[in-house]
């Protein structure tokens, strides 16, 4: 963990400038994620500052949402305002803290998808 990796071969479709982006692999826990706002934060295990997790990163990697307390491994990049998740490498729902949710349960009256990754 914490290794720097070139993004060659990994495309961020919002930034097709052709320049390589310096990526760092981190593991951590989701501090919070607000579906209505479309973002949340990851607290890295290595003690670095919180990392922004945007819904577009989740969706690009096949996820719809993520719950507070979920363990995550991600590639991150340095941006003007701090670090931001670039690619989700893995997600572990065993540590989430919203209670005993199961697929199809409701949260605040809305059906939720608890991190089911699309497989094609």
Is 119 inside a domain boundary? no
Let me know if residue 96 belongs to a domain: yes
What is residue 95's predicted lDDT score, i.e. its pLDDT?
55
Please compute the mean of the pLDDT values over residues 95-117 and round it to a whole number.
Answer: 47
Residue 73 lies in a domain: yes
Asked, for residue 75, whether it belongs to a domain, the answer is yes
Is residue 51 classed as helix, strand or coil in its secondary structure? Answer: strand
> Pick the residue with more confidence: 105 or 33?
33
120 assigned to some structural domain: no
How far is Cα 97 from Cα 86, in angstroms, rounded to an integer? 24
Look at residue 17 in the predicted model and tell me its pLDDT: 58
Q: Is the pTM of this model over 0.75?
A: no
Classify residue 117: in a domain, yes or no. no
Note the pLDDT of residue 54: 95
Of residues 32 and 8, more confidently modeled: 32
Residue range 38-77, pLDDT digits in tens:
999 999 999 999 999 999 999 998 888 898 999 999 999 9
CATH number reported for the structural domain that contains residue 60 in this entry: 2.40.50.140
Residue 11: pLDDT band (50, 70, 90) is: very low
68 occurs within a structural domain: yes
Nearest to 101 by CA among 83, 113, 91: 113
> Is 11 domain-assigned?
yes
Which pLDDT does position 86 carry in this prediction?
95
Number of domains in the chain: 1
Q: Is residue 77 packed enough to be buried (19+ CB in 10 Å), middle (13-18) or exposed (0-12)? A: middle
What residues make up the domain containing 35? 4-111
């Amino acid at each position: 963990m914490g290794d720097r990796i070139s993004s060659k071969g990994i495309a961020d479709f919002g930034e097709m400038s052709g320049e390589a982006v310096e990526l760092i692999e981190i593991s951590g826990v989701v501090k919070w994620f607000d579906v209505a706002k479309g973002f949340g934060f990851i607290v890295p295990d290595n003690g670095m500052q919180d990392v922004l997790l945007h819904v577009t990163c989740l969706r690009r990697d096949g996820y719809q949402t993520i719950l507070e307390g979920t363990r995550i491994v991600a590639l991150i990049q340095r941006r003007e305002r701090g670090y931001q998740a670039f690619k989700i490498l893995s997600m572990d729902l065993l540590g989430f803290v919203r209670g005993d949710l199961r697929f199809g349960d409701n949260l605040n009256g809305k059906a939720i998808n608890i991190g089911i990754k699309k497989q094609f």
